[in-house]
């Protein structure tokens, strides 16, 4: 390992080395026009809340015109706003107002695939095999006597084959196209220079409007292995975090794209950046996306996928720190997003050793679920994450300790995973239910300005318990999870050594993760029975109440050391 270069001070280094970024799933954040779906103006009304929370940046999930098959990740037009969500003018106002509140704003860019309603795909369907219009996507002839078999054995992430056969203009079945996700999400052909130029224009379109950066969807997927070879031992469905290399993930060619994008980002003032959604492992593969001429951040999904257990978490932290140090990049810690079971639930799952992705399982037995324990752990996890060197990503509702919504009736499930898995995977709706802003049920617990809207009439039905997590209640309760996040983020801001930098592990026993960030700042996370905290230390914040000097189980604390 090379010696880390000394970092410039926090005010002198790019903001994205330290930032805590809040992910807004726009459809479920706040509904200003009363239709039961979140929108751009809803976000605008909540900027003071986000400012008070203390985050540095916002990431908004796709807000472009879209048939909403995958809730915006099926983009029909990359340079406009979905009419259900508002207008381009409102989006421009949001960008400006976010800046006035002292925060940055990232938009989500979806370059691996478009919607099948994108003009280019519609044109491709009407064009001949081999035509320039077809070449923008991944059309191939089928195998078998009449091309009736898919071109290879790839499976889609959402389940089922990754190929769909189309009919020609004469109505006869002919070529197939690749869709690594839903059938309605055809993959672009990134060997095509028009595709590359188009996305450069998309980046500039939003950069010109003042966005500070991009979250890149499926950043490890755009380039496919030449010849599109079969997967040797295919999974029933492709996993994003593949157990071994796949011909459609993490190919070397993606890095050339990011080198080009970095030049575009750097041609604008103000440390514009991009964060990769690259489900790659181990961390040394992540580091490749963060070389000095590529991207700024990449989510640490190894950390997110780790169970609530100190050995595995420590291993993931160490690996990330070492690998990213090699390329001089900061780590980006994350426990929640719109694709995974909320940490309140995940951290309470029984652990089955050796089972990959156990912590991302959506099913589980709700009867065995202990929400108090899950919440306690999620709160401790928050202090762990926010004390680690680098930046962090917080998903809306995480600051309210929202659990997974498990009781959504089957006929209200909307995630394409549900239908494409032939109703074996309930999908991701449980972590996407609209936020409760007020404890009274009117307006879907304050989610909507339409007071007549009931909790079950929101676009995804809210659980009957949602009111007990509401912002207005948590605001008043000094011990609420909302106030825990506010306190931790305020301390993080005032402690110059937090954010990016170094950490030093302390030995506090095998069931404790303990580390210092400076001579006088330490974080202790206890996974086992109560332990004594170092004598003479002052508690800055704790995830659960602490009596005397004893740190109880499933509790984290930030300490000022050596206080006399
Ligand atoms: C990753 C996004 O986070 C997820 O929500 C989406 O379904 C897939 N990419 C496909 O775009």
d(CA 557, CA 542): 4
d(CA 453, CA 442): 6
Nearest Cα to 330, choosing from 400, 257, 378, 392? 392
Pocket flag, ligand 1, residue 495 (CB < 6 Å): no
The atom number, within ligand 1, closest to the CA of 70 reads 7
pLDDT at 281: 87
The catalytic residue among 217, 345, 415, 495 is 217
Q: In the chain, pLDDT over 70 holds for what percent of residues?
A: 94
3-state secondary structure 438-500: CCCCHHHHHCECCCCCCHHHCCCCCCCCHHHHCHHHHHHCCCCHHHHHHHHHHHHHHCCCCCC
- What is the separation of C-alpha 453 from the centre of its chain, rounded to a whole number of angstroms? 29
Q: Is the pLDDT reported for residue 233 higher than 90?
A: no
d(CA 277, CA 286): 10
Pocket flag, ligand 1, residue 395 (CB < 6 Å): no
Average pLDDT (267-292) is 95
Q: Is the pLDDT reported for residue 357 higher than 50?
A: no
d(CA 484, CA 542): 8
Q: Is the pLDDT reported for residue 359 higher than 50?
A: no
The atom number, within ligand 1, closest to the CA of 180 reads 10
Q: Is the pLDDT reported for residue 353 higher than 70?
A: no
- The string of pLDDT tens digits covering residues 40-70 is 999 999 999 999 999 999 999 999 999 999 9
Q: Is the pLDDT reported for residue 526 higher than 70?
A: yes
Q: Which range is least confidently modeled, 7-16, 255-264, 320-329, 420-429?
A: 420-429
Average pLDDT, the chain: 94
Give the residue, out of 27, 61, 222, 339, with the most ligand 1 atoms within 8 A of its beta carbon, to mutate for a pocket test. Answer: 339
**Ligand 1 centroid, distance to 188 Cα (angstroms):** 15
pLDDT-derived band at 350 (thresholds 50, 70, 90) equals low
Q: Which residues of 18-40 are buried (b: 16+ CB within 10 A; e: fewer)?
A: bbbbbbbbbbbbbbbbeebbbbb
d(CA 73, CA 88): 18
CB 521 within 8 A of CB 529: no
Pocket flag, ligand 1, residue 279 (CB < 6 Å): no
Average pLDDT (194-216) is 98
pLDDT-derived band at 367 (thresholds 50, 70, 90) equals low
pLDDT at 552: 98
Pocket flag, ligand 1, residue 59 (CB < 6 Å): no
pLDDT-derived band at 355 (thresholds 50, 70, 90) equals very low
Pocket flag, ligand 1, residue 429 (CB < 6 Å): no
pLDDT-derived band at 360 (thresholds 50, 70, 90) equals low
**Mode of pairing for the β-strands spanning 555-560 and 538-542:** antiparallel
Q: For ligand 1, atom 5, which residue shows the shortest CA distance?
A: 339
Average pLDDT (505-525) is 97
Pocket flag, ligand 1, residue 164 (CB < 6 Å): no
Cis peptide, bond prior to residue 214, ω within 30 of zero? no
- What is the separation of C-alpha 211 from the centre of its chain, rounded to a whole number of angstroms? 18
Look at 354 and 11; give whichever has higher pLDDT.
11
Average pLDDT (206-222) is 98
Pocket flag, ligand 1, residue 188 (CB < 6 Å): no
pLDDT-derived band at 564 (thresholds 50, 70, 90) equals low
442 catalytic? Reply is no
d(CA 25, CA 272): 22
Q: Which range is least confidently modeled, 344-353, 377-386, 470-479?
A: 344-353
Give the residue, out of 217, 304, 425, 429, with the most ligand 1 atoms within 8 A of its beta carbon, to mutate for a pocket test. Answer: 217
Q: What are the residue ranges of helices labelled H in 327-414?
A: 343-346, 371-387
The catalytic residue among 212, 250, 277, 404 is 277
SS3 542: strand
pLDDT at 354: 46
Pocket flag, ligand 1, residue 404 (CB < 6 Å): no
Average pLDDT (77-81) is 98
Look at 346 and 18; give whichever has higher pLDDT.
18
pLDDT-derived band at 364 (thresholds 50, 70, 90) equals low
Q: In the chain, pLDDT over 90 holds for what percent of residues?
A: 87
Q: Is the pLDDT reported for residue 351 higher than 80?
A: no
**Ligand 1 centroid, distance to 226 Cα (angstroms):** 24
d(CA 479, CA 14): 33
164 catalytic? Reply is no
**Ligand 1 centroid, distance to 218 Cα (angstroms):** 7
Average pLDDT (16-24) is 98
CB 518 within 8 A of CB 559: no
pLDDT-derived band at 234 (thresholds 50, 70, 90) equals confident
**Is the full-model pTM beyond 0.75?**
yes
Give the residue, out of 24, 70, 298, with the most ligand 1 atoms within 8 A of its beta carbon, to mutate for a pocket test. Answer: 70
pLDDT-derived band at 94 (thresholds 50, 70, 90) equals very high
List the domains of the chain with CATH numbers. Answer: 17-111+193-481 (3.20.20.80), 119-178 (3.90.400.10)
- The string of pLDDT tens digits covering residues 119-169 is 999 999 999 999 999 999 999 999 999 999 999 999 999 988 999 999 998
């Amino acid at each position: 390992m090379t010696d880390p270069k000394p970092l410039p001070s926090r005010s002198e280094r790019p903001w994205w080395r330290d930032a805590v970024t809040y992910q807004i799933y726009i459809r479920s954040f706040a509904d200003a026009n009363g239709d039961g779906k979140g929108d751009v103006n809803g976000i605008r009304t909540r900027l003071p809340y986000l400012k008070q929370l203390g985050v540095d940046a916002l990431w908004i999930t796709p807000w472009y015109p879209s048939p909403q098959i995958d809730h915006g990740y099926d983009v029909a037009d990359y340079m406009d706003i979905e009419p259900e969500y508002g207008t381009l003018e409102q989006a421009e106002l949001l960008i400006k107002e976010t800046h006035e509140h002292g925060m940055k704003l990232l938009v989500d860019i979806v370059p691996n695939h478009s919607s099948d309603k994108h003009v280019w795909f519609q044109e491709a369907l009407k064009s001949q095999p081999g035509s320039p219009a077809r070449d923008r996507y991944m059309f191939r002839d089928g195998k078998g006597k009449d091309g009736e078999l898919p071109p290879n054995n790839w499976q889609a992430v959402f389940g089922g084959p990754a190929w769909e056969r189309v009919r020609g203009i004469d109505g006869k079945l002919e070529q197939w196209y690749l869709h690594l996700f839903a059938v309605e999400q055809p993959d672009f052909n990134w060997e095509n220079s028009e595709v590359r130029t188009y996305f450069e224009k998309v980046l500039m379109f939003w950069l010109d409007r003042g966005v500070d950066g991009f979250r890149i969807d499926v950043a490890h997927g755009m380039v496919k292995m030449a010849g599109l070879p079969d997967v040797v031992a295919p999974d029933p469905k492709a996993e994003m975090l593949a157990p071994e290399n796949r011909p459609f993930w993490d190919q070397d060619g993606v890095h050339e794209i990011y080198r080009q994008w970095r030049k575009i980002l750097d041609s604008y003032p103000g440390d514009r950046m991009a964060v990769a959604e690259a489900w790659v492992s181990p961390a040394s593969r992540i580091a490749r996306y963060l070389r000095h001429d590529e991207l700024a951040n990449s989510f640490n999904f190894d950390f997110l996928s780790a169970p609530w257990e100190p050995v595995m978490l420590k291993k993931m932290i160490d690996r990330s720190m070492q690998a990213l140090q090699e390329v001089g990049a900061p780590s980006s810690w994350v426990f929640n997003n719109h694709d995974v079971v909320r940490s309140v639930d995940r951290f309470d799952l029984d652990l089955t050793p050796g089972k990959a992705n156990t912590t991302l399982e959506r099913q589980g037995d709700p009867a065995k679920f202990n929400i108090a324990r899950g919440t306690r752990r999620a709160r401790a996890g928050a202090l762990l994450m926010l004390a680690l060197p680098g930046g962090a990503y917080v998903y809306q509702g995480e600051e309210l300790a929202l659990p997974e919504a498990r009781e959504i009736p089957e006929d209200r499930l909307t995630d394409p995973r549900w239908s494409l898995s032939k109703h074996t995977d309930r999908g991701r709706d449980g972590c996407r239910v609209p936020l409760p802003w007020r404890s009274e049920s009117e307006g879907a617990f304050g989610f909507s300005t339409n007071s007549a809207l009931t909790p079950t009439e929101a676009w995804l039905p809210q659980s009957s318990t949602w009111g007990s997590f509401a912002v207005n209640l948590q605001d008043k309760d000094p011990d609420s999870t909302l106030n825990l996040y506010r306190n931790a983020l305020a301390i993080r801001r005032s402690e110059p050594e937090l954010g990016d930098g170094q950490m030093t592990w302390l030995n506090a026993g095998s069931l404790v993760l303990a580390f210092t960030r400076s001579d006088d700042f330490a974080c202790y996370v206890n996974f086992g029975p109560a332990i004594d905290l170092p004598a003479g230390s002052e508690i800055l914040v704790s995830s659960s109440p602490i009596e005397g000097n004893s740190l109880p189980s499933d509790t984290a604390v930030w300490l000022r050391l050596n206080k006399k």
